[in-house]
Homo-oligomer: A and B are copies of this chain.
């Protein structure tokens, strides 16, 4: 299956953003280089790999485009050269920013691929959310924590779902692929950054104390 140039650009950006969020989390746990690479790798490729396995797409996107592997490897190996400076300049926002861009980029890539595979709208939206969220969920499971996206009560998966829905609606209205994709990414990433900036909170779904 030939990926369009747009899809490749989306996947490269999302891969770098998520690998960096995994890198930051793993260094926080003081892991060695193997641990840091593994967590960065799972954060970057976990969501897309699960999507490809569920849809039975082979070769997997990171095997088909081996450059992704070298990219993440280079990111991890070169991190001592730039991570501290970047963190110093950007502070706590670094990870939130990388994560929000990964969220939007992966959600749109997942939904686009699922639509191309002929999935119905609900499944295509779910595949977008799975692509965007499973990498971070796997990262947290490997770090022995309850996934942040389930207990954070800050909109995260909902932002991905909103972006995927915008993409589907614009696609159904006949808007071009590039514009629909950009609008979807902007919706997901923008609403996520807004949620962080305004510290928006979702209520617990059901209280069980009574």
Contacts and interface: CB of A to CB of B under 8 A. Distances in A.
Interface of A: 24, 26-36, 38-39, 49, 53-56, 58, 60, 63, 66, 69-70, 76, 79-80, 83-84, 87, 119-120, 122-123, 126, 137, 141-147, 149-153, 156-158, 202-208, 210
A36 B202 CA distance: 12
A35 B151 contact: yes
A152 B31 CA distance: 8
Contact of A150 (B31, B54, B147, B205): B31
Identify whether the interface residues of A are mostly helix, strand, loop, or mixed.
helix
Nearest to A203: B32
B149 A146 contact: no
A207 B30 contact: yes
Contacts of A55: 58
A80 to B, nearest CB: 6
Given A205-B31, A205-B32, A206-B83, A146 B153 contact: no
Nearest to A121: B66
